[in-house]
Amino acid sequence: MSKHLEERIFVGLMIASTIVVLGSLVLILATVVMKGLPALNLKMLTQVPKGGYYLGKEGGILNAITGSLALAGGATILSYVFSLAVVLYLHFFAQDSRFVYLVRLSLDVLWGVPSIVYGAFGFTLLLLLGLRASMLGGIVALALLELPILVRAMDEVISMVPLELKEASYALGATRLETALRTVVRQTVPGLLTASLLAFGRGIGDAASVLFTAGYTDRMPTSLLRPVASLPLAVFFQLGTPVPEVQERAYASALVLTIIILIISLIARLLTRRLTRHVIH
């Protein structure tokens, strides 16, 4: 076969593959929008399920929307604190390079753990502590899920800071902590923020980890020790009913969830572009 013909065939296949990949994105988004938009109305966004909601009567998914935001928000904050501590330790305080390697390895492994395992682990923790499924349980399970993601992203961001910057700070007599917080973190704020948004987006869309640990409720989130609703589970449960109106609400819920995630991705992207302008070198 002529070498040019072979090339043409493969390039054709490549372009076809790319179209398939992008096409699936389009199909998924189109499905969600087309099915979800008709069922989306103000009531859905501003009310909680009232009596008979799952049989087709009045109500909305405000409980799930606020619940998801609370869960993912709490989890991201909790996870952020841990991640920052880990990354600062690895880059400023650690002495033993073997330990550093082990830490990175173990977090790498954690990154691949499926969310259902975190849910199962969270469940065993709740049993151990004698607690029921609650917002706290959901936050802990999600925080575990987000931790390796955050650490990896933050690690990358801080690794990009040039050594000369740290040296300039140390040369003025700063301690490790002062250099870390006043100089390096200051330089990397956009990157750290983007990392948080990434983790938040991952957390808010996850169902398997909150299934066991956060429970579900038709009420608005009030207490850390009570079960809380979440959008992914709202989609799942509403889809599972035989009532067509409720199934349509599932589509609307999926649309709301997808829109939230798209907005977060957009904000993350814009932030990176804007804030990197003022950073040194």
Give, as ranges, the residues between 230 and 259 that touch other proteins (CB under 8 A). Answer: 232, 235-236, 239, 250-251, 254, 257-258
Nearest approach, Cβ of residue 117 and other proteins (Å): 5
Least distance to other proteins, CB of residue 66, Å: 17
Q: ∠ at Cα 141 (140, 143), nearest 5°?
A: 60
- Which residues from 81-120 bind other proteins, rule CB under 8 A? 82, 85-86, 88-90, 93-94, 97, 102-103, 105-120
Query: Can residue 64 be called a binding residue for other proteins (CB under 8 A)?
Result: no
CA nearest to 71, candidates 140, 150, 121, 127: 140
Q: Give me the phi and psi of 100, to 5 degrees please.
A: -60, -45
In the bound complex, what is the minimum distance in angstroms from residue 60's beta carbon to other proteins? 18
Positive or negative: CA dihedral 253, 257, 263, 266: negative
281 scored as a contact of other proteins (CB under 8 A): yes
User: CB of 109: closest distance to other proteins in angstroms?
Assistant: 5
Distance in Å, CB of 229 to other proteins, minimum: 14
**Which residue in the set 50, 57, 182, 273 belongs to the binding site for other proteins (CB under 8 A)?**
182
3-state secondary structure 86-112: HHHHHHHHCCCHHHHHHHHHHHHHHHC
Stretch that binds other proteins, among 47-55, 59-67, 173-181, 219-227 (CB under 8 A): 173-181
Contact 227, 212 (CB under 8 A): no
Nearer to other proteins, 36 or 49 (CB): 36
* Residue among 7, 37, 38, 58 that touches other proteins (CB under 8 A): 7
Closest distance between other proteins and the C-beta of residue 159, in Å?
13
Of 45, 55, 77, 280, the one binding other proteins by CB under 8 A: 280
What is the per-residue burial (b if ≥16 Cβ within 10 Å, else e) of 148-157?
Answer: bbbbbbbbeb
